[in-house]
Structure 1
Amino acid sequence: MKTPGKGTAALRSGVKRLLGRAGFDIVRSTNNRGGVDDFLPFEATMRAARSAGLSVGDYIDDVMNGTPGATQSTIDALRALGVFSSAPDTVLEIGPGSGRYLEKTLKECAPGRYEIYETAEPWADYLVDTFGVVAQPTKGCSLAATPDASVDLVQAHKVFNTLTFLGTSRYLFEMARVTRPGGRIVFDAMTETCLAPDTMRTWATEGGDGHDSYPAALPRRTCVDLFASLGCTLEASFLARMGVASTEVLVFGKEA
């Protein structure tokens, strides 16, 4: 197994070197509304994945992040927890990016509707064309285009560790709002469970320069208490690999 990457700054540098060897160059998208396409350029990534003979998701896990199987291991854990066994008919994902979690979610269940809120327009267009999902208008940290209590499964993977505390907080309120009674909310965050002293030292010395708020910590107790006040109960949690360490995946159920 490859050693995990060393933070977003190191990741960007490594990706640029890898793509450069294949004859590609990383440039900032001119039609991007801000987001994953700033450091995961659509066309270059797609060409590099094809050149490597990998799916986009596997290319990002195996080559770019240096964490082979990381996405699938999260999906496997969610399956074991019964997240997909209720056959969610409506799924919403915040910040799907390249769609590596989206694609594997669709293999686990067959929702009649899959909504995405993605700020990187090239990736959003790709996901709509490839998977037939519905790209909702994305503005700020709102899920305004989605009605109250209308979604069976709301998820966000590797998103909240890149946002400010207020941005994440606004999304958490929105996730609870759009989830139907009996539905589930799944997301990962860099909680105190992931931040032992040795891990903090690793981030500080090997995690690169980061970008803006990345990597951003979020107190676990804050999440649990907030969702409890919104009628949601923590059902399970587990660790998932990210960068030089891990994040904690939290699974909440909304009271029926």
Structure 2
Amino acid sequence: MSAVKSGVRRLLGRAGFDIVRSTDSRGGVDDFIPFEATIRAAQAAGLSVGDYIDEIMNGTPGTTQSTIEELRALDVFTADPKTVLEVGPGSGRYLEKTLKECSPGRYEIYETAQPWANYLVDTFGVVSQPTAGSSLAPTPDGSVDLVQAHKVFNTVTFLCASRYFFEMARVTRPGGRIVFDVMTETCLGPATVRTWATQGGTGHDSYPAAMPRRTCVDLFETLDCSLEASFLAQMGVASTEVLVFRKKP
């Protein structure tokens, strides 16, 4: 197990995110969570895959749960969403904990890494939708109560994230919520930028990706979605900002 743990730590030591590489991957993401090795190591450690990633691979126990608890306090789950859609669930660590908070009749995922997508379908009974660029085309307009993405939009290009934003607003029903995290200026003070530059690894073309907070808020306002709340969540050597929007009734 130590060899497996050492290998995955090298792969993800600087990242702290849950995106995975596949032949359909876009946006320059070159780090990944190896499917078979991660499953075996989690089983050997007696942990769920999500908890294994938090505690062993990322070395930050409880980070996923803390985000879920913040969302619970904001009544995101007590609104009893009947349909949930998640962009880029990766290994499913947020998906797993979301399903412990609510019981949607339908949970759609858009995941480019086929081994992980198959695992999530088999383990949690979710619906894996075909992925194409930044489109959520298989999902009808106004059909989803909760749309979420975690540790995704700080790993892709600005335009890729922006295109997803339009799609997320399109599929959300009036009164529904949209939850995602981005690396805003709130997360990027001078000391943090220095840490990323000197201790965060070499990075790659799209990670870590910054996104202006005002850009997000103003864009979603034009899409009839208002910002309800925000909070910081740990990622890698720093943090991202989780934004919670509600689509106007």
**TM-score, normalization: structure 2?**
0.90
Post-superposition Cα deviations, 1:205-244, rounded to whole Å, max 9, x if no partner, equal 0000113210000000000000000100000000000000
TM-aligned CA deviation for residue 97 of structure 1: 0.3
Q: Which residue of the other structure, out of 177, 190, 193, is the alignment partner of 1:197? A: 190
Residue 203 of structure 1 aligns with an amino acid whose one-letter code is: W
Q: Does residue 152 of structure 2 align to residue 145 of structure 1?
A: no
CA RMSD between the two structures:
1.9
TM-aligned CA deviation for residue 11 of structure 1: 4.7
Rounded to whole Å, the distance in 1 between the matches of 2:148 and 2:223 is 17
Rounded to whole Å, the distance in 2 between the matches of 1:152 and 1:37 is 32
Rounded to whole Å, the distance in 1 between the matches of 2:236 and 2:140 is 35
Q: Does residue 82 of structure 2 align to residue 82 of structure 1?
A: no
CA, structure 1 residues 208+38, in 2 after alignment: closer, same or farther (shift >3 Å)? closer
Residue 186 of structure 1 aligns with an amino acid whose one-letter code is: V
Aligned-partner SS, 2:192: helix
Aligned-partner SS, 1:78: helix
TM-aligned CA deviation for residue 10 of structure 1: 7.2
Q: Which residue of the other structure, out of 26, 31, 45, is the alignment partner of 2:38? A: 45
TM-aligned CA deviation for residue 110 of structure 1: 0.2
Residue 91 of structure 2 aligns with an amino acid whose one-letter code is: S
CA, structure 1 residues 144+13, in 2 after alignment: closer, same or farther (shift >3 Å)? closer
Rounded to whole Å, the distance in 2 between the matches of 1:116 and 1:215 is 23
Gaps of 5+ in 1: 1-8, 16-27
Rounded to whole Å, the distance in 2 between the matches of 1:167 and 1:210 is 18
Could you tell me whether the CA contact under 8 Å between 1:32 and 1:122 is conserved in 2?
no
Could you tell me whether the CA contact under 8 Å between 1:57 and 1:100 is conserved in 2?
yes
**TM-score, normalization: structure 1?**
0.88
Number of aligned pairs?
Answer: 235
Q: Find the counterpart in structure 1 of residue 109 from structure 2.
A: 116
Gaps of 5+ in 2: 1-7, 15-19
Residue 236 of structure 1 aligns with an amino acid whose one-letter code is: A
Residue 25 of structure 2 aligns with an amino acid whose one-letter code is: G
Post-superposition Cα deviations, 1:118-174, rounded to whole Å, max 9, x if no partner, equal 000000000000000000000100000000000000000000000000000000000
Q: Which residue of the other structure, out of 160, 176, 181, is the alignment partner of 2:153? A: 160
Q: Which residue of the other structure, out of 228, 238, 243, is the alignment partner of 2:236? A: 243
Mean Cα displacement is larger for which, 222-231 or 208-217?
A: 208-217
> % of aligned pairs identical?
77
Runs of 4+ in 1 over 4 A off after TM superposition: 35-38
Rounded to whole Å, the distance in 1 between the matches of 2:85 and 2:128 is 10
CA, structure 1 residues 13+185, in 2 after alignment: closer, same or farther (shift >3 Å)? closer
